[in-house]
Amino acid sequence: MSKRYFGTDGIRGTVGQAPITADFMLKLGWASGRVFAREMAGDGRCTVIIGKDTRVSGYMFESALEAGLVAAGVDVKLLGPMPTPAVALMTRTQAAAAGIVISASHNPFEDNGIKFFGADGAKLPDEIEHAIENQLQEDLTTVESHRIGKVLRVVDAAGRYIEFCKSTVPENFKLRGLRIAVDCAHGATYHIAPSVLSELGAEVITMGVQPDGFNINEGVGSTDMAALSALVRERQADLGIAFDGDGDRVLFVDADGELVDGDELVFIIATHRLATGHSDAGVVGTQMSNLGLELALREAGLQFARAKVGDRYVKEMMEANGWHLGGESSGHIICADITTTGDGIVAALQVLIAVQAAGGDLAGLRGGMTKYPQVMINVPVGGKVDLADYPEVHKAVARVEAQLGERGRVLLRPSGTEPKVRVMVEGEDANEVGALCTGLAQEVESLLG
């Protein structure tokens, strides 16, 4: 059964346009509170954690969600600006029924959204999302006055999360001697990531750590790496680390300012674990993962499985296979033996463990994997699109696949977070791949109107 509001990663859109409005968030808080109280507390009293990133609209939606939740008889703990994975962690460690993150991740400040975590710190299963959508169809009612929820602000949330991050590395692990440039995207990691790295001994050069409510992801962060690359070269840093607005993605640049993407970071973590005897049989990627990652892992003796795009699907396949490592080229990396969801800081530390073991040579570590040229073009569409309804699109894809043969692959998929269809072509020859992707994207745009 399709969902009206929930996409691949919660509910997201432009602030002021339905459903990203204050009145909807009030109703969503109430509806989710009713479901959490019923499904997770047997209609008893329960607690929900709320965290947010640094966008100005977060104030409005935090208040609206809070009002809806307490009207449903749910207690609330407010964390303030915190990375998405920190909310997942606090949901578990505070014995809460659920966690809510107010964030649009890597999107500009004009957008916002809501992500949910269950009591286990993992994304909500489909049946709970369906239950919330069904509850949204009911009239909002307030519990009796003696059952109205209470609200508490957790003042030491940042310190707790910093200590957790440091606890994920070996006790004797230090970053002394490394000069690291860190870009926090003016987002939720601005007061977390620099402290974690400096307290582990690194010399830290910061950027993107002055959020004003409007500058999140603007020319900074993991979706715009040019400024970090320039900073690394200018300050002669050993490497650079960039997070997205809500801190669940991470990308690196090496000492020359060259991008090290999520596929390469997964490869580095996986092969280091293999070399140190801490590896599972395989790793999970997605349909978008570079073919070079699959081939390099197989050459190393590791299996590779592809899930649908979205960290929830990566996590599901990891659990099904009994593996602890998975990720996406965008920088969503899940280390399930450490935490329950994609965590940019935790993943960065896992990479840094491998970098230290290699004498600080990030470029050398990435050299074990050869990336195939891959081009992706986002085709704007008017709304949700079911590609099965467009047979001419499939014929266009088939023609490109026939031209590539076994030398590459084609992938079309509707975005789960934006009104776009993503067109991806991958192959051996960069010029051919670029031309084929451009031509296919133009044809898809024409066919989809």
Tell me the pLDDT of the chain (449 aa) as tens digits: 678 999 878 999 999 999 999 999 999 999 999 999 998 777 778 999 999 999 999 999 999 999 999 999 999 999 999 999 999 999 999 999 999 999 999 999 999 999 999 999 999 999 999 999 999 999 999 999 999 999 999 999 999 999 999 999 999 999 999 999 999 999 999 999 999 999 999 999 999 999 999 999 999 999 999 999 999 999 999 999 999 999 999 999 999 999 999 999 999 999 999 999 999 999 999 998 999 999 999 999 999 999 998 888 999 999 999 999 999 999 999 999 999 999 999 999 999 999 999 999 999 999 999 999 999 999 999 888 889 899 999 999 999 999 998 778 899 988 876 789 999 999 999 999 999 999 999 999 999 97
CATH number listed for the domain at residues 374-447: 3.30.310.50
**What does the alpha-carbon distance between residue 408 and residue 417 come to, in Å, rounded to a whole number?**
27
- Is-contact 358 365, C-beta < 8 A? yes
**For residue 38, what are the contacts with CB-CB under 8 A and spacing of at least 6?**
none
- Taking CA atoms, 217 is separated from 107, 110, 198, 315, 342, in Å, by 7, 11, 23, 26, 19
Give me the architecture of the 11-158 domain, per CATH: 3-Layer(aba) Sandwich (3.40)
Residues 427 and 411: beta-carbon distance below 8 Å:
no
Fold equal for 11-158 and 169-366: yes
Residue 408: predicted pLDDT: 86
pTM of the model: 0.91
Residue 122 CA to residue 314 CA, distance in Å, equals: 12
Q: With respect to CATH, is domain 169-366 assigned 3.90.550.10?
A: no
What are the domain boundaries of the chain? 11-158, 169-366, 374-447
**CA nearest 89: which of 157, 151, 156, 35?**
157
Active site residues: 105
